[in-house]
Every structure is written in C-alpha cells, then in structure tokens.
Amino acid sequence: MLSLLRSQYTPDKQAVDKENPVLYYVLRPLSFYLTVPCIKMGLSANQVTFIGMGIGIAGCLMLGIGAYWSMVIGAILLILNDVCDVVDGNVARYRNTSSTYGGYLDDVISGEIIPSLVPFAVGIGIGEVLLGSLCSILMFSRVVVTEGYSAKFKAGARSFYKGNGGLWALIYKVGIAVSVSITWALLIGAITDMVYWVLIFWTIMVFCEFIAATTFTLLKAKNDN
C-alpha cells in the first residue's frame, strides 16, 4: 500500500511541495505512514479532514488558555492538524474520491479558516489580543482579496513572483515556507516561552503576504480589463 501511495505522488505535486521544505521532507513522508491505518479503518478523505479540523480547533482552544503546558499541547495539536491536511489528500487519491466538496473543506475551512484563528488564539493566550487580532485579520483579508481571482491567482502567482524576482520572489518563497513551518516555530516558541516573538514574526510575514497578494490581484484585474 505504501508503494502505491508513493506512486500517486506525482512529479507536479512534488514540484509544488518542494517549495516548502517542511512539507516536502517532513509532513509528506510522515503522511504516507499515517494514511495506511486511515485506509484500513475505512476512513474517507472527508472524514480525515473533519478529524483534522477537530484537532485544529482543539489546538486553538489550548493556545487560548495561555498556560505553558496548554501552549505546548496546542502547538502539537496544530502540527497534527497539518499532518491530517496532507493525509486527507493521500486518501482521496488512493480511493479516487476527489470532489469539489472535499476540496472546499480542505482548502477553505481546514486550510484557511482554522489557520486564521491560530494567531488570534495565541494573542488571547499571551495577553496580546490586538496583535493576534491584527494577524488573523490580515490572514483572512489575504484570502478575501484573492477570492475573485482565486483560480488565476493559484495558476499565476508562482510565475509572477519568481518572474519578477527581487522582493516579490523573496516574499513568495518565505511566505510559502512560513505557511506550514509556523506551527513548528510555535512549538519551539511555546517550549522556550517565546511565543510573543513568534507572533510578531508571523504578523510581519502575513502583512508582507497580504501586500504581495493584493498587488498581484490588482495587476491581474488591470490586465484582464
């Protein structure tokens, strides 16, 4: 079963994953081993997505408590949520059950809404509600800005950023890496009691991503007209 799962990991998918070292070298290999028991238990891709969503919400609640132990547990739960976010795709490809509904759950709810809640939960936990709220609003605004051009954004963003080089390429590459690795940074921050600085860094990066996404979307809209 492992060999089949690995064979379904297409070169195109690998090329996208390689832009995020944490995803490519850690989460994806680990996901293959965790996909096997999910398949043997008869879980569907959507069920794995819902399990991941539950784990992600529990992680946010732990972060909101603000105690040292709850911060560590919350970060671990969010890493498990990241893993589930990869496992559900493996299950869908294995069962050949990919659907628009499943993609919506995975991309919007699990991939956007829950991550947008994390900085807010961190802000509550460490007593920096305004900073956490700002970060969450920026994350959600980034999604809203690109909503009207979502398909074109996904299709053209990589070539746009890389083609323009310089600051745009840097924002894109670092932003992609931060999108998954932030939960690991959060775990390190929780263990070392430096969550505040993780939130500061996260807010700066999200602001840069918001500016980059807005600029791309406006240029795309201008060209389309």
Per residue of the chain (225 residues), what is the pLDDT tens digit? 777 777 777 777 777 677 677 777 888 888 888 888 888 888 888 888 889 889 999 999 999 999 999 999 999 999 998 888 888 888 888 887 777 777 777 777 767 778 888 999 999 999 999 999 999 998 888 766 665 545 555 555 555 555 555 666 666 666 666 666 788 889 999 999 999 999 998 888 888 777 777 776 677 666 665
Say if CB 181 and CB 79 are below 8 A apart.
no
Q: Is 3 exposed, middle or buried (0-12, 13-18, 19+ CB in 10 A)?
A: exposed
DSSP 68-127: HHHHHHHHHHHHHHHHHHHHHHHHHHHHT---HHHHHIIIIIIIIIHHHHHHHHHHHHHT
- Show the domain range for 73: 2-224
Give this prediction's pTM: 0.81
The number of domains in the chain is 1
CATH of the domain at 174: 1.20.120.1760
- Which of left, alpha, beta for 67 (phi over 0: left; psi -120 to 50: alpha)? beta
